[in-house]
């Protein structure tokens, strides 16, 4: 086990991991530049709107980043820093990577039975498992414009409705499924359900407070981050 973790944290793997992160940063810069050029050429947004959207985007990553960081710390102890960095830096789902690393190693990750072969297998399963996000993004993103135009022609109100309802339904179904799995386990736990409820109530409360008084408008930007932190704290306390 000790020899496996030495390999998992070796300089060669650090170089490969940092190389993959550099590619992600380069892609991020390309997308940012393309968006900036599009706004400049079309004038669809004012400079104030651009600054506000960037501010909200950065703030809204705080809560999810804390959640990912918490799981990633555990993952580093199981499969090493380089592999964790390369996976979290590309996909960003620490929970999914924890699941695939366990499945790929036959449940031996973090145990004395975790061998060099299991490390290699876990790495491949993590990479192939996360490739779905990359493949669907590559092939489907370009067609979203045509779909959006068709939806606008059919019903102009459809786009904002789908944009509001779809994320809610996706995360509700995922959260509900995870909560039920923990409740129906051999040793039931209610931390996930408590976190789900606490996060929803917090999110609603922050937005209502911002709506009631103008001096709390800043909560609109920070509500998601605060709600996730509160949900995590409540879930840990209940468990």
Q: Does the pLDDT value for residue 15 go beyond 90?
A: yes
Q: Does the pLDDT value for residue 194 go beyond 90?
A: yes
What is the C-alpha to C-alpha distance for residues 105 and 224, in angstroms, rounded to an integer? 35
The arithmetic mean of pLDDT across residues 166-192, rounded, is 86
> Are 135 and 22 contacting, i.e. CB atoms less than 8 angstroms apart?
no
Three-state secondary structure call for residue 187? coil
Rounded to 5°, the CA angle 229-185-74 comes to 45
Q: Does the pLDDT value for residue 14 go beyond 90?
A: yes
Residue carrying the six token digits 């605060």: 226
Residue carrying the six token digits 């789900």: 196
Percent of the chain with pLDDT over 70: 99
Encode 185-221: b = buried (16+ Cβ within 10 Å), e = exposed: eeeeeebbbbbbbbbbebbeebbeebeeeeeeeebeb
- pLDDT digits over 62-72, tens only? 767 777 787 78
Rounded to 5°, the CA angle 55-56-57 comes to 90
> Are 228 and 67 contacting, i.e. CB atoms less than 8 angstroms apart?
yes
Three-state secondary structure call for residue 200? helix
Least confident of 73-82, 137-146, 168-177: 137-146
**Beta-carbon neighbour count of residue 148 at 10 Å?**
13
What is the C-alpha to C-alpha distance for residues 65 and 214, in angstroms, rounded to an integer? 28
């Amino acid at each position: 086990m000790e020899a496996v973790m030495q390999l998992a944290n070796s300089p060669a793997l650090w170089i490969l991991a940092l190389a993959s992160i550099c590619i992600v940063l380069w892609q991020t810069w390309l997308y940012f530049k393309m968006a900036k050029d599009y706004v400049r050429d079309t004038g669809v947004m004012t400079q104030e709107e651009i600054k506000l959207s960037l501010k909200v985007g950065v703030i809204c990553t705080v809560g999810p980043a804390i959640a990912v960081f918490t799981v990633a710390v555990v993952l580093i102890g199981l499969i090493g820093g380089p592999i964790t960095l390369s996976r979290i830096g590309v996909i960003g789902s620490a929970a999914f990577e924890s699941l695939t690393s366990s499945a790929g190693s036959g449940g031996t990750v973090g145990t004395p039975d975790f061998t060099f072969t299991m490390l290699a297998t876990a790495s491949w399963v993590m990479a192939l498992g996360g490739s779905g996000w990359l493949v669907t993004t590559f092939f489907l993103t370009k067609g979203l414009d045509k779909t959006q135009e068709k939806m606008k022609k059919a019903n102009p109100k459809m786009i904002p409705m789908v944009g509001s309802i779809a994320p809610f339904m996706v995360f509700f179904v995922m959260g509900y499924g995870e909560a039920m799995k923990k409740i129906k386990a051999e040793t039931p736990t209610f931390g996930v359900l408590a976190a789900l409820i606490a996060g929803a109530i917090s999110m609603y409360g922050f937005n209502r407070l911002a709506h009631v008084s103008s001096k709390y408008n800043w909560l609109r930007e920070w509500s998601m981050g605060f709600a996730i932190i509160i949900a995590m704290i409540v879930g840990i306390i209940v468990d």
